[in-house]
Amino acid sequence: MKLVRYNQFEPAYPSTFGSLLDKFFNESLSQTTKQFIPAVDISEDEKQYEIQVSVPGMKKSDFHLDLTEGRLTISGERKMEEKKEGKNFHSIETHYGSFSRSFYVPETISVENISAVYEDGLLKVVLPKTEKKVNNLKIEVK
């Protein structure tokens, strides 16, 4: 089984026309909560799965990882620096705000050995695989 992305669409995009209309008429234009979707790379080898989340400019304490009912959720918030002290911004292309990414994980991972490391702007989550116990059994037809 492969590691599968849980949230196929960004939650801010409505999935039906009715929900698009609800979003249009019910949300405030002055909404201060901003969200973004960080880029994610997923790889696999014989021993483990690895998820790399590209989120530069954050601290280790800004991340929250949760594994519940086979779903790994990686979330956090990148806050914009409030100290402007004479700076006049002409362009801000960096994404700020909260994010959440969820993935279904296979049952063959070793939950006790999951690790996460944040360095050089990448959050690396390693999901080690457990040894598969294959029972080869020949069944005789009678």
87 lies in a domain? Answer: no
How many domains does the chain divide into? Answer: 1
- Domain of 47, in residue numbers: 34-79+94-128
134 lies in a domain? Answer: no
105 lies in a domain? Answer: yes
Nearest alpha carbon to residue 33 among 82, 98, 130: 98
3 lies in a domain? Answer: no
Residue 61, SS3?
A: helix
Interval 3-55: pLDDT, tens: 655 554 555 566 677 666 666 666 544 444 578 889 999 999 999 999 999 99
57 lies in a domain? Answer: yes
Interval 97-125: pLDDT, tens: 889 999 999 888 998 899 999 999 999 99
20 lies in a domain? Answer: no
CATH at residue 111? 2.60.40.790
Are the CB atoms for 128 and 109 separated by under 8 Å?
yes
Q: Identify the band that residue 86 occupies on the pLDDT scale cut at 50, 70 and 90.
A: confident
Sign of the CA dihedral 48, 53, 57, 63? negative
Going by C-beta distance under 8 Å and a sequence separation of 6 or more, which residues neighbour residue 79? 96
Tokens of 46: 């014989």
27 lies in a domain? Answer: no
% residues pLDDT > 70 (the chain): 69
